[in-house]
Amino acid sequence: MGKLLIVGSVAFDEIETPFGKTDKILGGAATFISLAASQFDVESGIVSVVGDDLPEDYLNLLTAKDIDISGITIVKGGKTFYWKGKYHNDLNSRDTLITELNTLADFNPVVPDNYKDADVLMLGNLHPNVQLSVINQMEKRPKLIILDTMNFWMDNTLNELLEVIKHIDVITINDEEARQLTNEYSLVKAAQKIYDMGPKYVVVKKGEHGALLFHKDEVFFAPALPLEEVFDPTGAGDTFAGGFSGYLAGTDDISFENMKNAVIHGSNLASFCVERFGTERMVNLEKTEVNKRLHQFKALTQFDIELQ
């Protein structure tokens, strides 16, 4: 069983979509990543920080999935990170209305001793200095370091982000962010520029249009499953990253060929995440449903063309 260390926010999210809105519910990058990774044969632990205002029930949802939360610091009297977003009618774009870092603002991550030898390190969306500090605390270099980030950190902490990117193997970002990071419209050119920054693999997430995996001169594409019902896209990117990293840690194979499978698993799990608000669908997801949908994925992309 592979060991996966996950770093990222554990949050209160408040979400508004054309189909309704929520109060403050459980969210955060590390939350979605760990729930997705729990679908695989991995031992996973989270490094994060919350305030004591986060209901215990929320953390119990994670421990019920065997996710190790001993690396989540609970600050007495502190307030948990709070994010509020509103989706546009097409559900492909959203406005961030509120980002309150709270306890995340001066977070000094501490990696638990038993995760310092993790096989795969999944650096979820957080301050790049926190991501770098976790890399530096590892006893030996993980076989694979994956980093997810977003425009918030490109806007506010670009130099720190460029520093941590030097140390990683795989970056997962969305198409707009890839363009912002590189000033290139073409995603092929953007991926090439990102190679020069450090990562050997670039995953570009394109929401309902799937995901691209770049490595050297090769590119692999996974579609997103056309869904009847999309309720709330929050966490889809993190769920993708959780499926991608969880599958790779579980199979202990970080070849490019296996990364193609990881992209499919990530896309498959993300397709569930968006079907309900917040973490609701991921918390109740059964392995049989996951497998059934993998078959649909295969059918969606398989064709038998005669090549000359």
Interface residues toward ligand AMP, by CB under 6 A: 9, 11, 13, 27-29, 83, 99, 125-126, 152, 234-238
Burial state string for 90-120 with b = 16 or more CB within 10 A and e = fewer than 16: ebeeeeeeeeebbbbeebebebbeebeebbb
Instruction: With H, G, I as helix, E, B as strand and everything else as coil, classify residue 142.
Output: coil
- Cβ at position 205, least distance to ligand AMP in Å: 8
- Cβ at position 196, least distance to ligand AMP in Å: 25
DSSP state of 117: T
| Residue with smaller CB distance to ligand AMP, 236 or 264 | 236
| Residue with smaller CB distance to ligand AMP, 85 or 142 | 85
| Residue with smaller CB distance to ligand AMP, 3 or 161 | 161
Report which secondary-structure segment, H or E, holds 294.
Answer: helix 287-301
- Cβ at position 32, least distance to ligand AMP in Å: 6
| Residue with smaller CB distance to ligand AMP, 157 or 251 | 157
Residue type, 197: M
- Cβ at position 23, least distance to ligand AMP in Å: 14
- Cβ at position 76, least distance to ligand AMP in Å: 22
CA distance 54 to 42: 26
| Residue with smaller CB distance to ligand AMP, 9 or 34 | 9
Tokens of 117: 């030898």
CA proximity to 252, closest of 85, 110, 30, 40:
40
- Cβ at position 140, least distance to ligand AMP in Å: 27
- Cβ at position 139, least distance to ligand AMP in Å: 26
| Residue with smaller CB distance to ligand AMP, 24 or 215 | 24
How open is the CA angle 227-228-230, to the nearest 5 degrees? 70
Neighbours of 202 (CB within 10 A): 23
- Cβ at position 54, least distance to ligand AMP in Å: 12
Residues 6+ apart with CB under 8 A from 65: 34, 35, 38
Do residues 56 and 80 make contact, with C-beta atoms less than 8 angstroms apart? no
| Residue with smaller CB distance to ligand AMP, 27 or 250 | 27
CA distance 7 to 241: 12
Neighbours of 73 (CB within 10 A): 16
Do residues 173 and 204 make contact, with C-beta atoms less than 8 angstroms apart? yes
Tokens of 39: 């679908």
| Residue with smaller CB distance to ligand AMP, 25 or 251 | 25
CA distance 32 to 8: 10
